[in-house]
Structure 1
Amino acid sequence: MSLQLTPSSHNDTNVSTFDTSHNEFGVHDTLRHGTRSLKAEVLPGHPLENRLQEWDQTRWELKLNLARQTYGLHAPIKMMMEHDLVSKRTRMPVLPSSNLHTDILLGKDETIDFEDFLNTPDMCTDMLDVHTAMEHKLNMKI
C-alpha cells in the first residue's frame, strides 16, 4: 500500500538482451521480443519519460488506496468494477461516444486535454456507414 503522488523517476522495465535470448540458440529472440535496440540498452531513459508514462496509473492507484483507507475495502473494489463496466463500449461502432463516465471515475472531467477538442467527429477517420457497421457486428457474433 503506497501513497506515492508521482511515479518513480527510474525505469524498472529495462530488459537486457540476455533476458530475451532464445533458450536453444542463445541469440536475441526477435519474434517474441521485437527488434533489438542498442540505444535502449546503452543509454538509460530520461527520468521524466517514465514519470509521464506511469502518471495515470500512479494517480489511479493513489485514488484506490485513499478510498480504501477512508471508506474500507469495498470502496476500491466498487470503483474498479465501475471502471470495468464503463470502459466497455456498448454503442454501435459508428455512433460517437464521449466516455464521460470514464472521465468522471478517473478524475479527468475537471481538466481539458487534447482529446477534448481534437476528438470531433469531423476530424474522425473511422466514420463508416451504419448499415455496414451493423452487418460487421452481426457477422462477428455468428
Structure 2
Amino acid sequence: MSFQLTPSTQSDKNVTTLDTTHADFGSHDALRYGTRSLKAEVLPGHALERRLDEWNDNQWELKLNMARQAYGIHAPIKMMMERDIVSKRQRMPVLPSSNLHLDILTGKDETIDFEDFLNDPALSTDMLDVHAAMEHKLKLKV
C-alpha cells in the first residue's frame, strides 16, 4: 500500500477515464487517477480538424508531385533544397525577419492571413539586448 498523495505517472500513462471508474460507485475516481480529460478520451478528433492541420503539408506534397511529373525528379529536389535553405533564419534573434523568400516559395505572398496584420513588431516580447540574445542563441550563458 502506497501513501502517495498524487497519482503515479509511470504506470497509469495508457489508462483512459473509462478504465478508472470506482468499483462501488461507478464514477471516475479522480483522487486516484486525476481529473478527467475529455480531450484525451476523444483521441481521433474531428476529420475536418485533422485535414486542416495537414493542409499546408498536403499542398506542398502536391506541388512536389506535379513538378516531378512535369519536369522530372530534379525539380522537386531543387524546390526542397531552396525551401530548406531559405527557412533557416539568417538574421540575429533581436532583429525582425519577414523571410519573404520563403513566403514566395510557399505561395503565402498571395494571401492575407491574420499574421499579416496582427503581428506588430512593436508589441514583441523578444529580448532587446543583442548581446544577451546571441549568448542565448549560441548557449554561451551559464
| TM-score, reference length from structure 1 | 0.67
SS at match of 1:97: coil
2-structure distance, mates of 1:82, 1:119: 26
After TM superposition, the structure 1 = structure 2 runs for residues 1-142 of structure 1, keeping only pairs within 5 Å, are 27-28=12-13, 37=37, 39-42=39-42, 44-137=44-137, 139-140=139-140
How far apart in 2 are the matches of 1:118 and 1:42? 32
Contact 2:127–2:133 (8 Å) recurs in 1: no
Q: Residues 87-107 of structure 1: CA distance to partner in whole angstroms, max 9, x if unpaired?
A: 111210001000111111111
- Following TM superposition, the consecutive aligned residue runs of length 4 or more in structure 1 with deviations greater than 6 angstroms are none
Aligned amino acid, residue 91 of structure 1: R
Secondary structure at the counterpart of residue 50 of structure 2: helix
| Separation in structure 2 between the aligned mates of residue 29 and residue 44 of structure 1, nearest angstrom | 15
Q: State the alpha-carbon separation in 1 of the partners of residues 69 and 38 from structure 2.
A: 44
CA distance in 1 between partners of 2:96 and 2:122 (Å)? 11
Query: What is the RMSD of the two structures over their aligned residues, measured on CA atoms?
Result: 2.8
Percentage of identical aligned residues: 75
Query: For residues 140 and 119 of structure 2, what CA distance do their matches in structure 1 show?
Result: 27
In structure 2, the residue matched to 1:16 is none
Gap runs ≥5 in structure 2: 1-9, 16-35
How far off its partner does 1:122 sit?
Answer: 1.0
Evaluate the alpha carbon distance shift between residue 28 and residue 132 of structure 1 in structure 2; reply closer, same or farther with a 3 A threshold.
closer
CA shift digits 1:60-112 (9 cap, x unpaired): 00000001011110000011111111111121000100011111111111000
TM-score under structure 2 normalisation?
Answer: 0.67
Q: Which has the higher contact order (CA 8 A, sep 6+)?
A: 1
Count, aligned residues: 113
What is the CA–CA distance in structure 1 between the aligned matches of 2:110 and 2:55, rounded to whole Å? 16
Given residue 116 of structure 1, which amino acid in structure 2 is its aligned partner? D
